[in-house]
Amino acid sequence: MASNFDSSIHGGSDLFFDFSCFYCQENDRNTEAEFYCEKCSQFYCQKCVELHNTLFKKHGIFGKENISQWPNTNVDAQEQCQEHKKELTGFCEDHSELICHVCHINNHQYVSCNISYTFELKIKRCHVGPWKQHFILTV
């Protein structure tokens, strides 16, 4: 009985990885990253890094043997709060700002701001820098 339970855990698709492949996530696949590109600031699995390396031959790739060169978080720098370096999780309608959970608690919770959380998927799919995020949200 325990072996059936154990195999269903390992056979599931809801595994969590410390670092997930960027391209696979974009295509709704959950794959563990084995490489990190310093130039792109993205993580890649074995299959996707081969495509990446074909397109971007001069980018510096670090495998797991050089994991000390990887960033400490899987949050893309483009998706981080510039003030707190945390993942952007909402948009304050009242202040027209992208906010992280720290911003929400410190600056937006007690002034009854209208916070929207629907922007997150749009931002992640667009993969644009913070300077373009404001433009996308105002269009």
What's the pLDDT at 44? 92
Q: Which pairs from 131-138 meet CB under 8 Å and 24+ separation?
A: 133/98, 134/96, 134/98, 137/91, 137/96, 137/98, 138/96
**Which CATH number characterizes residue 90's domain?**
3.30.160.60
Rounded CA gap, 87 and 85, in Å? 7
**pLDDT per position in the chain (139 positions), as tens?**
444 433 333 333 456 677 888 888 878 788 889 999 888 888 899 999 999 999 998 998 999 888 777 776 555 555 777 787 777 778 888 888 888 878 888 888 777 888 877 644 444 444 444 444 444 444 4
Query: 52 burial class (0-12, 13-18, 19+ CB within 10 angstroms)?
Result: buried
Q: So what's the pLDDT on residue 139?
A: 40
Among 69, 103, 128, the domain boundary falls at 69
Q: Closest Cα partner for 103 from 90, 121, 114, 116?
A: 90
| Per-residue confidence (pLDDT) for residue 5, from 0 to 100 | 38
Angle between helices 119-126 and 130-138 (to 10 degrees): 130
Same domain membership, residue 64 and residue 87: no
Expressed in percent and rounded to 5, the helix, strand and coil fractions of the chain are 40, 15, 40
97 & 65 share domain = no
- Number of domains present in the structure of the chain: 2
- Point out the domain boundary residue: 69, 92, 123: 69
Q: What is the pLDDT of residue 45?
A: 94
My answer on whether 103 and 64 are in the same domain is no
pLDDT at 19: 82
Question: Which range marks the domain in which residue 107 is found?
Answer: 77-138
Amino acid letter, residue 105 = I
Domain boundary at 47, 69, 91, which? 69
Are 110 and 104 contacting, i.e. CB atoms less than 8 angstroms apart?
no
- Based on the domain organization, do 88 and 121 belong to the same domain? yes
